[in-house]
Amino acid sequence: MKGCLRNERGLTLLELLIAVAIIVIIAGVGIPTYLKFRSTSQHAEANLNLNGIKQFEESYKLGNGIYINCAVSPRPVAALDETTLAWTDLGIGFTSIGFGTNAPVRFVYAVTGATTTSFLAEAAGDTNRDGNDILFVASPTIGPRVVQLGDAVTLGADTQNID
């Protein structure tokens, strides 16, 4: 009688551990990269819209000699989350300067501190779901930049506390 030959197929424990280790390494590199890319793309919305608001404010000033405040839109600041909403002007302001967007937005926009010489455009949103609101700030002299809600923002000689 011939010896019993085993013709089994499958993975050894070592092969399985190596495969799992490779998957863990790929996930360890890929997930943070994906989250950064996602956050960057969401920040692009705020940058584009703030630049648009700036252009519309400048056009309004050319015709009227003053910048105007725009009420918080499209939702109250207290309702910040990662969802998108269709654009609606919740108060007088954005409609007056002619600003609006056809695409849903993730941020809450407002223009405050408007005078004959300056204004502060804001975009607030929680893009990374950590409960800490990110605020983008733009002005005629300072382009869009990221600050944390509650930080002091300097516009020319004026310093304003953002809340």
β-partners of residue 105 are 85
Residue, of 10 and 71, whose pLDDT is higher: 71
**Tens digit of each residue's pLDDT (9 = 90 or more) over 88-139:** 877 778 989 999 888 888 888 888 888 888 888 888 777 666 666 667 776 6
Residue 77: Cβ-neighbour burial (10 angstroms; 0-12, 13-18, 19+): middle
pLDDT value of residue 128: 63
Residues ≥6 apart with Cβ < 8 Å to 128: 35, 39, 134
The domain locations on the chain are 13-161
| CB-CB contact of 162 with 121 (8 Å) | no
For 14-71, the pLDDT digits (tens) are 889 999 999 999 988 888 888 777 767 777 888 888 888 888 988 999 999 999 998 8
* Contacts of residue 114, Cβ cutoff 8 Å, sequence gap at least 6: 57, 66, 67, 68, 69, 120
N residues, the chain:
163
